[in-house]
Amino acid sequence: MRTARTSRRAMTFAVVAALATGLLAGCASDDGDDSGGAGGSGDKEGATTLTVGTFGTFGYKQAGLYDEYMKLHKNITIKENVTTRTDVYWPKTLTRLQAGSGTDDIQAIEIGNITEAVQTQANKFVDLGKEVDKSQWLDWKNKQATTKDGKLIGLGTDVGPMAICYRKDLFKKAGLPTDRTKLAEMWKGDWAKYVDVGKDYMKKAPSGTKFVDSASSVYNAALGGAKDRYYDKSGNVIWDKSEGVKKSWDASMEVATSNMSAKLKQFDKPWDQGFANAKFATVACPAWMVGYIQEKSGDAGEGKWDIAAAPTAANWGGSFIGVPTASKHQKEAIALAKWLTAPAQQAKVFAKQASFPSTPSAYSTLKPKAETLAYFSDAPLTQIFSDSAKTIPVQIFGIKDQPINTAITDTGILQVEQKGKSPEQGWDAATSEVKDVLGQ
């Protein structure tokens, strides 16, 4: 009885203490913000705390960039607020931007959301165009974050130039060339040619292996290099009329219906296992996927993988960082954003995280890890990826690019590939899904 009472008392005390600390902490950080805001460039030493809102792994912390910056600027403390999932991060950020409060000093924007940000949130972001030398970045990367009247709302972080990662050992067994330049020549210019190579592969395929991991990956890769996607220049949805979508869909349908796909869903567990067990011979790999392949294939895949140029230059993924006008420390935030996205820092993130820089001047300095090079048969991967990055067309994105894409790959293509429906049925399923996305 006595112990019960004491423990209850202890419990109450603990709860009260926790609440009190929380309140105090809240007050403390508010104070910090206020003094920083009033002081501007910091009349108090160590007064300014900058927060960076990101999703997933950006690699800034991992590459030690925050620590380095804080050492260079004694009056600044950096805190990163990470939301793991993009589909949680973006709606939250949107509402905070519109409310004009609760945003971080630097806010990351995924490529799939950049058009929405440019078209609807431009006045909530600081114009960074006047603050930086725009020519540092890839031209197409800048254009994606620029409004019609020339305002640059985000600085490019990484890009996802595409190549084809393939298993030399499987290619050899299937009687195909294994040389990366020869292969690149075979499928150059058109993803349909890549599918043709797949047909050749399947004629003598080593048992239990397929040519490609999934039809969706072929779709994404092909669409990543197409001039038109789901929207036209004036923001109208053209997803069912666009040439790029049609060609990419056809290529993926060819894959889905001709038994050359391992029918895996990317980033699902079985996909990971597919790497480990060598279930497929090729995968369209953006630069950031290289580390992933190395991790999932494990030691067994060492030296068996190689990288060849993709049929067309294509991009998959990549982000921007912008400074919301609601930030109380705009000046400091702009300086930090500039520094984080400068070529030197992007090269450091690449060394740690294999996120490919969006600043071409960094390309000559890129140093892939020695293990990675050995793993991919000493392929000149920085060369291959930078060639791709420089020739990627300026793609027009739309407000709902991402949900439309998910509707097509996760419903349309998946149903054809995994449930044996016809391409027409798959297209119909995708159509009703896209209509639902658009609220029609």
Partner 1 sequence: MTSSNEALAQTASSADAASDSTEESGAARGAQGRGTPPSDTSWRSRLYRWDMKASPYAFIAPFFIIFGAFSLVPLLYTAWYSLHNVQLSSLDSQTWAGLKNYTNLFDSEFFWNALGNTFTIGVISTVPQLIVAIWLAHMLNYRLRGSIVWRVVMLTPYATSVAAATLVFVLLFSPDNGMINWALDLVGIDPVNWRESDWGSQLAVSSIVIWRWTGYNALIYLAAMQAIPADLYESAALDGANRWQQFRHVTVPMLRPTILFTVVVSTIGATQLFGEPLLFGGVSGTKGGSQHQYQTLGLYMYDQGWINGNLGKAAAIAWSMFLILLVIAAINLLITRRLRKAQ
Structure tokens at 308: 């060849």
Half-sphere exposure of 435 toward its Cβ, with a 13 Å CA cutoff?
7
* Residue from 278, 400, 401, 426 in contact with partner 1 (CB under 8 A): 400
Residue 433 CB, shortest distance to partner 1, in Å, is 8
- 101: contact with partner 1 by CB under 8 A: no
- 116: contact with partner 1 by CB under 8 A: yes
Residue 38 to residue 41: CA distance in whole angstroms: 9
Q: What string of DSSP letters covers 202-249?
A: HHTPPTT-EEES-HHHHHHHHHTT-S--SB-TTS-B-TTT-HHHHHHH
Residue 107 CB, shortest distance to partner 1, in Å, is 14
Locate tokens 């972080």: which residue? 157
- 124: contact with partner 1 by CB under 8 A: no
Burial of 131 (0-12, 13-18, 19+ CB in 10 A): middle
Strand partners, 161: 315
Q: Which listed range, 32-40, 48-56, 180-188, 411-419, lies at the site for partner 1 (CB under 8 A)?
A: 411-419
* Residue from 21, 29, 422, 432 in contact with partner 1 (CB under 8 A): 432
Residue 141 to residue 19: CA distance in whole angstroms: 46
- 123: contact with partner 1 by CB under 8 A: no
Strand partners, 128: none
Site string for partner 1, 168-207 (x = CB under 8 A): ----------------------------------------
Count of beta carbons in the 10 Å neighbourhood of residue 291: 17
Which of 76, 137, 200, 139 lies closest to 392 in space, CA to CA? 139
Q: Which listed range, 15-23, 46-54, 175-183, 402-410, lies at the site for partner 1 (CB under 8 A)?
A: 402-410
What is the helix (H) or strand (E) element at residue 106, kind and residue range? Answer: strand 106-110
- 94: contact with partner 1 by CB under 8 A: yes
Residue 85 CB, shortest distance to partner 1, in Å, is 8
- 269: contact with partner 1 by CB under 8 A: yes
- 440: contact with partner 1 by CB under 8 A: yes
Residue 140 CB, shortest distance to partner 1, in Å, is 23
At 285, is the secondary structure helix, strand, or coil? strand
For partner 1 (CB under 8 A), the number of binding residues is 28
Residue 326 to residue 107: CA distance in whole angstroms: 11
Rounded (5°) CA angle 183-395-191:
25
Residue 57 to residue 130: CA distance in whole angstroms: 29
- 158: contact with partner 1 by CB under 8 A: no
* Residue from 185, 272, 410, 428 in contact with partner 1 (CB under 8 A): 410
- 37: contact with partner 1 by CB under 8 A: no
Site string for partner 1, 53-92 (x = CB under 8 A): --------------------------------x-x---x-
- 95: contact with partner 1 by CB under 8 A: yes
Q: Which listed range, 32-40, 116-124, 160-168, 220-228, lies at the site for partner 1 (CB under 8 A)?
A: 116-124
Sites of contact with partner 1 (CB under 8 A): 85, 87, 91, 94-95, 98, 116, 119-121, 267, 269-270, 399-400, 403, 406, 410-411, 414-415, 418, 432, 436-440
